[in-house]
Amino acid sequence: MRDDRDDPFDDFFDGIERMMDEMTGSDASGFASETHVDIYDEGDELRLVADLPGVSKDAVELQCDGEVLTISAGGPRREYDERIRLPTRVDEHSASASFNNGILQVTLDKIDESASIDLD
């Protein structure tokens, strides 16, 4: 049995989420129109930070083919399915990710765009 005193901000955050849904154009089915993702170029690696409010860590699925990162996640009120084209090729096997309080961070090593060719 749930004790309403467990989370005194529950109604407050529900109201904010409803307002954000109206502002971002989420439809009534709970699908977000767009996931907010920031990409940071940090020299030899890329770091992506995505906002996934209302989602648990177990519900997040990530895939990368070296050019596109796919984020799939679902919660009781919202689902995310985003394909993010990366600004440079990355080594998908180097990926590391963390998820804390609705914030996903993914770090990937960059691959050189081209290799020089020696002429004989």
- What does the pLDDT read at residue 5? 55
78: left (phi over 0), alpha (psi -120 to 50) or beta: beta
How many whole angstroms separate alpha carbon 36 and alpha carbon 52? 8
The pLDDT of residue 15 is: 75
- Say yes or no to pLDDT of 113 above 80: no
Q: Which two tokens stand for residue 44?
A: 């030899």
pLDDT-based confidence at residue 10 (cuts at 50, 70, 90): low
pLDDT for residue 29 is more than 50: no
**Percent of residues, the chain, with pLDDT higher than 70:** 75
Confidence of residue 28 (pLDDT cuts 50, 70, 90): very low
Q: What is the distance between the alpha carbons of residues 25 and 19, in angstroms, rounded to a whole number?
A: 10
- Other CB atoms within a 10 A radius of the CB of residue 78 amount to 19
pLDDT of residue 27: 46
Q: Report how many helices (DSSP H) and strands (DSSP E) the chain contains, helices first.
A: 1, 7
Note the pTM of the prediction, 2 decimals.
0.67
- Say how far apart CA 63 and CA 68 lie, in whole Å: 8
